[in-house]
Structure 1
Amino acid sequence: MTVTEAPPAAPEAGPVVHKRPVRKRLVPYWLLLPGIVWLVVFFALPMIYQASTSVQTGSLEEGFRVTWHFQTYWEALHEYYPQFIRSLLYAGTATILCLLLGYPLSYLIAFKAGRWRNLVLILVIAPFFTSFLIRTLAWKTILADGGPVVGVLNTLHILDVTSWLGWTEGSRVLATPMAVVCGLTYNFLPFMILPLYTSLERIDGRLHEAAGDLYATPATTFRKVTFPLSMPGVVSGTLLTFIPAAGDYVNSELLGSTDTKMVGSVIQSQFLRVLDYPTAAALSFILMAIVLIMVTVYIRRAGTEDLV
């Protein structure tokens, strides 16, 4: 009996791999290229230049050269630490006021405005169509000594309390910390309202109905449902308000006095008047480092998944 050998089994076919052309794989990088070039030219290179400036020594007449003089950072921080503390205090106070004023308005726009929603949003955005400088100068008229605002505050004896706290001087508001904080609050309030409105507008209204069906009071619904779900907007709004407010110098220059100078004013003066470029660059990097550390800690403590 003859035994016939079976033919060899055909090799198993593996999964078919479709390789994308190299040109298609590079498309996302080509799309990112303009943004990367923009960041390199207008952010990375200026930062590197500023870093090198902060460790230079010399004068405007003799010229500046890099000598790795890191002592400039300590000298700048030691001499101008009151302005740093004042900037963080004013910016923090303005941020809290923006949150207290902006949250109710954002809630109103998101849930109660109805057909007036677009109109109210336009009114919120309208100040952006006016120069930042003009808006700040307008507050000099609003807070003038003989103006109606100061008269109302005097009638309500509010200036007595703020004067005791050191935020005003007697019956005067201009050239005081209160005037600077008012200017910061007004100018940066839209930066708080818009992220809050966006976050609140995304909340499903059926969640409020469900909370009501479970016998939750409006206060409990806000505390347990609305506010936790709006935390991404709260965090975004506070960051968009605090960061530019900490480096602002226009409000302290126009509404304040020599006793209310913020670190932004010092940096501006060192760059454009004193012409001490290393000190100005060092102050800029110190401010950036302080704000970056505070923002990082704040975001981690807030624990919002949308931002971490």
Structure 2
Amino acid sequence: MAMSAAGKRRAVTGLLVAPAAAWLVVFLVLPFIAIVVFSLGERAPEGGYQPALTLAQYMNLPARAAAFWNTLVLAPIGALACLVVAYPVAYYLAVKADPRWRLLLVSLVVVPFWTSLLVRTYAWMYILGSRGIPNLLTLVGIEDVRLLNTPFAVLVGIVYGYLPLMIMPIYVSLEKLDRRLLEASADLGARPVSTFLGVTLPLSMPGVMTGVALVTILLLGEYLIPQLLGGGKVFFIGNALVDLFLQSRNWPFGSAIAVTLVLVVVVVLLGAMRLAYRVAGTRQVDLV
């Protein structure tokens, strides 16, 4: 029996999707299942995993409450700080910059990714350390200022390290902005501030939500910046996972924290998507 046209399309679609689906199953789904199994077990006497069926590891999550608190507080604050810095830059690149120089300026935004984050973070360790900004402050009479190994240092590292990831989605959203809407707003007598709040900002919200969600999700698993700029005093969940898996070798407890982190990421994603769809729906209604 000859296959119908719809059946052929489904078969072709299945063949195209199969490699990506297999990749996700092997490198995402199966490892996550293993982590869930580990989280229901117990720590072996010599360290590692010992089969069991218990929720004791999840009940022990308050023992790492400081890591969860630092992550769930500093990650959103860092994402918002990135947004505050990134939006004017993206707005200038997309709306105000000379088109002849726009490609070069956008390329400069991506240049920091050409250097390892480790090297760039070490640079900030020197800048915020005793020989950097605090040393300069002593020259003007301000002494005993400690910037390194503080939440402030971690936030500085977050903004510096993740700023390009926030700029690019906003830039793409603003670059697609229909300039005729801005002209129409000006022709109707709206001031620049009113045009920005009523037209530009709502139309750029999908890019804003994408950037905030992307940066926040990556920060939830951040390890390097808190480790170097926090100096072991500002722990994130990523630092707790490294300690549990590689040092204390408590794989079940580390797995329970990892599963909880994945659930937090899913909640953040769903919330960001719901808010983005709501903003998009409101925007469509306003335009109509």
TM-score normalised by the chain length of structure 1: 0.84
Q: Distance in 2 between matches of 1:206 and 1:156?
A: 54
Amino acid at match of 1:36: A
Amino acid at match of 1:81: A
Q: Distance in 2 between matches of 1:289 and 1:154?
A: 49
* Number of equivalent positions: 277
Compute the displacement of 1:174 (Å).
Answer: 0.7
> Which residue in 1 is equivalent to 2:229?
255
> Which residue in 1 is equivalent to 2:194?
220
Compute the displacement of 1:135 (Å).
Answer: 1.6
Q: Are 2:168 and 1:194 equivalent residues in the alignment? A: yes
User: 1:109 aligned to 67, 83, 93, which one?
Assistant: 93
> Which residue in 1 is equivalent to 2:81?
97
Contact 2:202 2:279 in 1 (8 A): no
> Which residue in 1 is equivalent to 2:217?
243
Contact 2:134 2:145 in 1 (8 A): no
User: 1:36 aligned to 13, 17, 21, which one?
Assistant: 21
Q: Distance in 1 between matches of 2:210 and 2:139?
A: 36
Contact 2:48 2:252 in 1 (8 A): no
Instruction: After the TM superposition, list the runs of 4 or more consecutive aligned residues in structure 1 that deviate by more than 4 angstroms.
Output: 21-24, 152-157
**CA deviation vs aligned residue, 1:236-273 (integer Å, no higher than 9, x gap):** 00011111112101111111133211121011111111
Q: Distance in 1 between matches of 2:125 and 2:264?
A: 31
User: 1:290 aligned to 253, 261, 264, which one?
Assistant: 264
Q: Distance in 2 between matches of 1:143 and 1:238?
A: 26
Cα RMSD (Å): 2.3
More helix by share: 2
> Which residue in 2 is equivalent to 1:52?
37
Q: Distance in 2 between matches of 1:138 and 1:19?
A: 62
Q: Are 2:207 and 1:233 equivalent residues in the alignment? A: yes
Q: Which stretch of structure 1 is more off in the superposition, 80-89 or 224-233?
A: 80-89
> Which residue in 2 is equivalent to 1:264?
238
The 3 A distance-change label for structure 1 pair 142 and 56 is same
**CA deviation vs aligned residue, 1:264-297 (integer Å, no higher than 9, x gap):** 1011111111111001110111122223223323
Contact 1:60 1:275 in 2 (8 A): no
2:279 aligned counterpart, secondary structure = coil
Q: Distance in 2 between matches of 1:125 and 1:44?
A: 32
> Which residue in 2 is equivalent to 1:164?
none
> Which residue in 1 is equivalent to 2:285?
none
Q: Distance in 2 between matches of 1:134 and 1:232?
A: 32
Contact 2:165 2:214 in 1 (8 A): yes
2:5 aligned counterpart, secondary structure = coil
Structure 1: give runs of 5+ residues left out of the alignment: 1-17, 160-169
Q: Distance in 2 between matches of 1:128 and 1:203?
A: 27
> Which residue in 1 is equivalent to 2:4?
19
Q: Are 2:110 and 1:125 equivalent residues in the alignment? A: yes
Contact 2:42 2:49 in 1 (8 A): yes
Query: Greater RCO between the two (CA within 8 Å, min separation 6)?
Result: 2
Contact 1:154 1:171 in 2 (8 A): no
Structure 2: give runs of 5+ residues left out of the alignment: 282-288
The 3 A distance-change label for structure 1 pair 43 and 62 is closer
Contact 1:270 1:277 in 2 (8 A): yes
Q: Are 2:248 and 1:274 equivalent residues in the alignment? A: yes
Compute the displacement of 1:177 (Å).
Answer: 0.9
The 3 A distance-change label for structure 1 pair 241 and 31 is same
Compute the displacement of 1:62 (Å).
Answer: 7.7
The 3 A distance-change label for structure 1 pair 148 and 21 is closer
The 3 A distance-change label for structure 1 pair 205 and 51 is same
TM-score normalised by the chain length of structure 2: 0.89
Identity %: 36
Larger Rg belongs to: 1
The 3 A distance-change label for structure 1 pair 188 and 220 is same
